[in-house]
């Protein structure tokens, strides 16, 4: 006798593919059932479930699959997004100067909205000093043309691997907005798994599954991202060995906090960090969407892109960070014997280099 497949089995089938809660599925079930009743039909459970599967078939056929992993952080793809902004602003400028010419040159298009008013759509077009791919020309500039990269310790086939996760459109906006709550948490999410990265889909949404025990992040990084981990004092040697290989990889450095500068005008706050054996100033730029570590915190781990300046020899290296992790530690009061040797200095944020640093050597017992 054939066994009947009920609501629980169908819900499990859907949840293997989509990030959707039992509560949401029950709401959908009740809404579909009520839609039948509104037509004068009392449907069976099987009829309601079949109708739900009909509606969800395109979603269930998506190449996106459900994944689990530790969310490490997210960074806006500044260079990529800056190109989009330059073209978009040029569209607006041309429209303001002469909208008819702007339409003729396909810098903009004008459509009517639901109220019959003109709606200006910026289009991809050639702009001096900006590389625009030919296939984009004439296409509308949308939120999909902006991207961010998140970093995940992905659980896969019983192993954990560090992966980049590319986010666009509303997924980028939501993840940047919620990053503070996601960093260091085990999450589930929908994504299209590629060889070296994960791509988002319209169903991508990070759902927190559980908090992580104290110091678990450190252990996971040491074990699964060891080629990307170093102490600040090793940065010069590390850079010289990996300058050609790290361009698209995150780096995790361990250091201590000397000074925190809250910026009123920039998108990032500035953290000056120190480490025994590294004598030059080193600044980390941390997004304002995240909290900031306390001054004098030690063994703090930052994740981000390392930059090297060819002109600022006084402070050649810096980092654009997407996360930080502070292990449990003891904060002490500064002994009075140090007072006559310490001063309060004004921190001037150095200019950020445009050149990205490269990758990491396998690291070291003191991690």
In this prediction, residue 3 carries a pLDDT of 53
Residues 95 and 199 in one domain: no
Who has greater pLDDT, 121 or 196?
Answer: 121
In this prediction, residue 197 carries a pLDDT of 85
In this prediction, residue 26 carries a pLDDT of 93
Does 197 reside within a domain? yes
CA dist 193 → 32, 64, 169, 190 (Å): 32, 7, 18, 9
In this prediction, residue 135 carries a pLDDT of 92
In this prediction, residue 354 carries a pLDDT of 34
Euclidean distance between the first and final Cα of the chain, in Å?
60
Residue 288 in this model has a pLDDT that exceeds 90: no
In this prediction, residue 360 carries a pLDDT of 33
Residues 127 and 169 in one domain: no
d(CA 329, CA 365): 19
Residues 323 and 195 in one domain: no
Does 352 reside within a domain? no
In this prediction, residue 351 carries a pLDDT of 45
76 sits in which H/E element:
strand 65-76
pLDDT class of 124 with cuts at 50, 70, 90: very high
Q: Residues 94-116: what's their mean pLDDT?
A: 90
pLDDT in tens, 293-323: 888 888 899 999 888 888 898 999 999 899 9
Retrieve residue 70's tokens: 């530790």
Residues 140 and 153 in one domain: no
Count of domains for the chain: 4
Residues 70 and 182 in one domain: yes
d(CA 257, CA 131): 39
In this prediction, residue 9 carries a pLDDT of 87
135-154: string of b/e by CB count within 10 Å (b at 16+)? eeeeeebeeebbbbbbbbbb
In this prediction, residue 331 carries a pLDDT of 65
Q: Which of 129, 145, 161 is the last residue of a domain?
A: 145
Does 351 reside within a domain? no
How would you classify the pairing of strands 268-275 and 278-287?
Answer: antiparallel
Residue 356 in this model has a pLDDT that exceeds 60: no
pLDDT class of 350 with cuts at 50, 70, 90: very low
Nearest to 105 by CA among 117, 113, 120, 95: 95
Rounded (10°) angle between helices 7-15 and 45-60: 10
Query: For the chain, what percent of residues have pLDDT higher than 90?
Result: 37
In this prediction, residue 157 carries a pLDDT of 83
Cα angle at 252 between 248 and 253, to 5 degrees? 130
Residues 254 and 311 in one domain: yes
CATH number at residue 192: 2.40.50
Residues 56 and 177 in one domain: no
| Residue 163 lies in domain | 66-76+146-210
Q: Which of 89, 118, 145 is the last residue of a domain?
A: 145
Residue 267 in this model has a pLDDT that exceeds 70: yes
Does 11 reside within a domain? yes
Residue 43 in this model has a pLDDT that exceeds 90: yes
Does 358 reside within a domain? no
Residues 245 and 307 in one domain: yes
Does 363 reside within a domain? no
Residues 315 and 238 in one domain: yes
In this prediction, residue 342 carries a pLDDT of 65
Does 135 reside within a domain? yes
Taking the CA atoms of residue 91, residue 93, residue 94 and residue 100 in that order, the dihedral angle to the nearest 10 degrees is 100
Does 353 reside within a domain? no
pLDDT class of 344 with cuts at 50, 70, 90: low
Q: Residues 167-189: what's their mean pLDDT?
A: 90
Residue 107 in this model has a pLDDT that exceeds 90: yes
Residues 337 and 271 in one domain: yes
Residues 90 and 141 in one domain: yes
pLDDT in tens, 224-242: 888 888 899 998 888 888 8
Residue 1 in this model has a pLDDT that exceeds 50: no
Q: Residues 266-295: what's their mean pLDDT?
A: 88
Query: For the chain, what percent of residues have pLDDT higher than 70?
Result: 87
Who has greater pLDDT, 249 or 37?
Answer: 37
Residue 101 in this model has a pLDDT that exceeds 90: yes
On average, the pLDDT of the chain sits at: 84
Residue 36 in this model has a pLDDT that exceeds 90: yes
Residue 365 in this model has a pLDDT that exceeds 60: no
């Amino acid at each position: 006798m054939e066994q009947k497949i009920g609501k629980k089995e169908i819900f499990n089938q859907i949840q293997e593919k989509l990030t959707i809660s039992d509560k949401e599925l029950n709401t959908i079930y009740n809404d579909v059932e009520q839609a039948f009743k509104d037509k004068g039909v009392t449907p069976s459970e099987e009829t309601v479930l079949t109708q739900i599967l009909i509606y969800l078939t395109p979603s269930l056929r998506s190449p996106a699959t459900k994944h689990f992993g530790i969310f490490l952080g997210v960074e806006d793809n500044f260079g990529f997004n800056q190109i989009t902004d330059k073209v978009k602003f040029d569209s607006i400028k041309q429209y303001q100067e002469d909208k008819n010419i702007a339409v003729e040159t396909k810098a903009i298009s004008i459509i009517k909205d639901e109220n019959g008013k003109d709606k200006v759509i910026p289009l991809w077009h050639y702009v001096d000093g900006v590389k625009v791919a030919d296939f984009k020309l004439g296409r509308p500039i949308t939120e999909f043309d902006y991207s961010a990269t998140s970093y995940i310790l992905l659980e896969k086939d019983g192993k954990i691997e560090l992966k980049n996760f590319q986010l666009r459109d509303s997924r980028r906006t939501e993840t940047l907005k919620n990053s503070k709550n996601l960093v260091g948490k085990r999450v589930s999410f929908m994504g299209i798994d590629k060889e070296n990265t994960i791509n988002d889909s319209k169903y991508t949404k990070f759902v927190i599954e559980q908090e992580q025990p104290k110091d678990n992040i450190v252990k996971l990084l040491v074990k699964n991202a060891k080629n990307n981990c170093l102490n600040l004092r090793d940065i010069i040697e590390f850079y010289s060995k990996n300058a050609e290989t790290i361009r698209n990889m995150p780096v995790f450095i361990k250091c201590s906090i000397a000074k925190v500068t809250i910026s009123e005008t920039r998108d990032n706050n500035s953290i000056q960090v120190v480490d025994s054996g590294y004598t030059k100033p080193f600044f980390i730029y941390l997004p304002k969407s995240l909290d900031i570590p306390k001054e004098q915190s030690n063994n703090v781990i930052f994740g981000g892109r390392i930059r090297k300046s060819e002109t600022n020899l006084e402070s050649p290296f810096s980092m654009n960070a997407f996360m930080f992790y502070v292990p449990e530690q003891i904060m002490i009061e500064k002994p009075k014997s140090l007072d006559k040797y310490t001063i309060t200095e004004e921190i001037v944020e150095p200019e950020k280099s445009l050149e990205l640093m490269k990758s990491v050597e396998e690291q070291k017992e003191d991690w």
